[in-house]
Amino acid sequence: MQHGIVLSTKNIQKSFRHVQALREVSIVVRHGCITAIVGDNGSGKSTLIKILSGILKPDNGSIKIAGLSYPSLSIQKALELGIRTVYQDLALDNFKNSIENIFLGAELMHGPFLSRRKMKEEANRLLANIRVEIPDLEEPVRNLSGGQRQGVAIARALRRPGKLLLLDEPTAAMGIQESHRALDILRHLRDEGMPQLMISHNLPQVFSIADYIYVMRAGCCDVEVATRETTPEQLQALILQHEHQEAGYE
């Protein structure tokens, strides 16, 4: 089955003084698919996500969305193009409840007053759409499970309809059960047609959810595979082969 392209990058480069974080990174994100980038800490994964969400500007290269190429994106331009981002720390206010976090900075008003009833209805709808159950929306989010907190962050990101969801380590610091629940949310979003680009260091977990995987190391995307055509063991062997080639071994 062929999937159209929702976003691609070509030869993205980014340096921070004498450190080259990204070296001509080219990737493709397809409609109806979850694309994952795996790599160790410091490999450049988060830098790429920040470039695609408009936080950082690349030194070189281009980003192509909906047939148009851009040398860089601002945060506002990324939002206008339908890019939605959920960061590793989720950026939730632990002392506010789910409703307040979903509408943080974009509260619904009725004249000079908060439209609390409308906000609660909308929060319920957004959470139901991604199949997240939170019995009490007025409970501070610090008391929620990891999967529920992830759901609140995703609901906030998708409050304005988007075309691509970026996720930075979506199961970081979660236990096994919570990780499974969080990944179920992402599978449901994919099945509903939301393409995703996620970064992770957890290769087995990525294999359980992603359609395509890029391996990033030292600012380069060394390998791209379709998960249906390979296994974790084959990918590990391929990574090792690239490492040996770079080291000058036969």
pLDDT band with cut points at 50, 70 and 90 for residue 247: low
For the chain, give the percent of residues with pLDDT over 90.
69
The pLDDT score that the predictor gives to residue 244 is 65
Q: What is the structure's pLDDT at 33?
A: 97
Between 42-51, 168-177, 219-228, the lowest mean confidence (pLDDT) is in 168-177
User: Which residue bears the tokens 């790599």?
Assistant: 39
Asked if the model's pLDDT at residue 61 lies above 60, the reply is yes
Asked whether the beta carbons of 167 and 129 are under 8 A apart, the reply is: no
- DSSP β-ladder status, 220-226 and 212-217: antiparallel
Please report the pLDDT score of residue 246 as a whole number: 63
Compute the average pLDDT of residues 196-211. Answer: 92
The token duo for 118 is: 């409308």
Of the candidates 127, 164, 136, 126, which has an alpha carbon nearest to the alpha carbon of residue 7?
A: 164
Enclosing domain of residue 74: 5-247
pLDDT tens readout for residues 131-189: 999 999 999 999 999 889 999 999 999 999 899 999 999 988 788 888 888 899 999 99
Give the per-residue pLDDT at 100: 96
What local confidence, expressed as pLDDT, does residue 12 receive? Answer: 97
Decide if 221 contacts 27 (C-beta within 8 A). Answer: yes
Provide the strand spans (E) within 31-179: 34-38, 60-65, 68-70, 83-86, 109-110, 113-114, 164-168
Which CATH number goes with the domain that contains 174? 3.40.50.300
**Spatial CA neighbour of 143 closest among 182, 178, 95:** 95
- Cα separation, 167 vs 52, in Å, equals 11
Q: What is the pLDDT of residue 137?
A: 96
pLDDT at 1 exceeding the cut of 50: no
Output the pLDDT for position 245. 66
Mean pLDDT of 125-134: 92
Predicted pLDDT of residue 249: 52
pLDDT (0 to 100) of residue 248: 58
> Is 77 in contact with 65 (CB distance < 8 Å)?
no
What per-residue confidence (pLDDT) applies to 250?
45
**Whole-angstrom distance, CA of residue 250 vs CA of residue 240:** 12
List C-alpha distances in Å: 122 to 103, 104, 211.
10, 13, 31
How many domains does one find in the chain? 1
Average confidence (pLDDT) over 118-133: 93
What average pLDDT does the structure give for the chain?
91
pTM above 0.75, yes or no: yes
3-state helix, strand, coil in the chain (%, to 5): 35, 30, 35
